Amino acid sequence: MRALQSHNRYDYSPITRRPDFNWPEGKRLAVYLGFNIEHFEFGRGLGAKLAPSSEPDVLNFAWRDYGNRVGVWRCLELFDELKLPVGVLINTALYDYCPEVVAAFRRRGDEIIGHGHTNADRQGDLSEPDERALIAYCTERMAREEGRAPRGWLSPWISESAVTPDLLREAGYRYTLNWCHDDQPTRLRTRAGDLWAIPYPQEINDIPAIVARQRSAEAFADMIVDCYEEMVAQSARQPLVMGIALHPYLVGQPHRLRHLRRALRHIAQSGRAWWCTPGQILDHVEAIPAGAR
């Protein structure tokens, strides 16, 4: 039989056979919020849907835009209430459409992470020159607006081409959130050197849970709590990362926000996790000597 095609980005490594280390304050579980703030083109392109519709798709566009007009502000109030840091994944189209949204998180000192220009398009559909240009544009725009270039990237729709990790590393990025293959940070090989993969969830993620699997707000909150409690127990053996992926047009809806508050309050009040951002995870693992992680 022929050998299976491989991505050649990393080698197999069982989590049970890795060096041990702690997160700051001796914590064993790192928890972060990956808060996706997105903008969609009207009349064309991709986007989560409440119901099938033809373009111009007023129903689904307006539902998603609720997140930028209302949901994001309700979520921000919750994050302030619980004093939680946030990893904010932004489309650069937000700088033109609703810059005050990004500014609100900037004032909090949250980490601003690259998420393409718009979630109406898939990054992986682009040619290599066009993909390089997209990354360059987003990086330059974010550096200009934020005063520093982003260090992390999540592709729109987590859509990669065969060279996306190479292009990100060549553009100066230090980590990607595209790969969900592990519960610890791992290194990806690229033609420009290593790129860290920080675990980003496809289970504790409101789009797959609520839109695809049609789980209720209560069930999604229970998933967050159950994942946290199980990973706290597992982290006695290995230090772990738990990401919580959220979108304001979903969890910013009042009936879902109430249950999200319950779940996040449970984690915050337990005191057993290190609340952080993906960039802080990167800083910590990069400071650990190579043989100790």
Query: pLDDT tens across 38-94, in order?
Result: 999 999 999 999 888 899 999 999 999 999 999 999 999 999 999 999 999 999 999
User: What is the reported pLDDT for 291?
Assistant: 66
- Per-residue H/E/C for 227-274: HHHHHHHHCCCCCEEEEEEECHHHHCCHHHHHHHHHHHHHHHHHCCCE
Taking the alpha carbons at both ends of the chain, their separation in whole angstroms is 36
Q: Are 19 and 293 in contact (CB under 8 A)?
A: yes
pLDDT at position 67:
98
Read off the pTM.
0.97
Q: Does residue 129 have a cis bond before it (omega within 30 degrees)?
A: no
Q: What angle do CA 240, 33, 206 make, to 5 degrees?
A: 100
**What is the CATH superfamily name and number for domain 22-42+57-292?**
Glycoside hydrolase/deacetylase (3.20.20.370)
Segment 164-183, tens digit of pLDDT:
999 999 999 999 999 999 99
C-alpha–C-alpha distance, residues 62 and 139, integer Å: 28
- Per-residue pLDDT at 184: 98
pLDDT at res. 52 = 87
pLDDT score at 292: 66
Residue 246 has pLDDT above 80, yes or no: yes
Q: With cut-offs at 50, 70 and 90, classify the pLDDT of residue 188.
A: very high
Please, what is the average pLDDT of the chain? 97
Over pLDDT 70: what percentage of the chain? 99
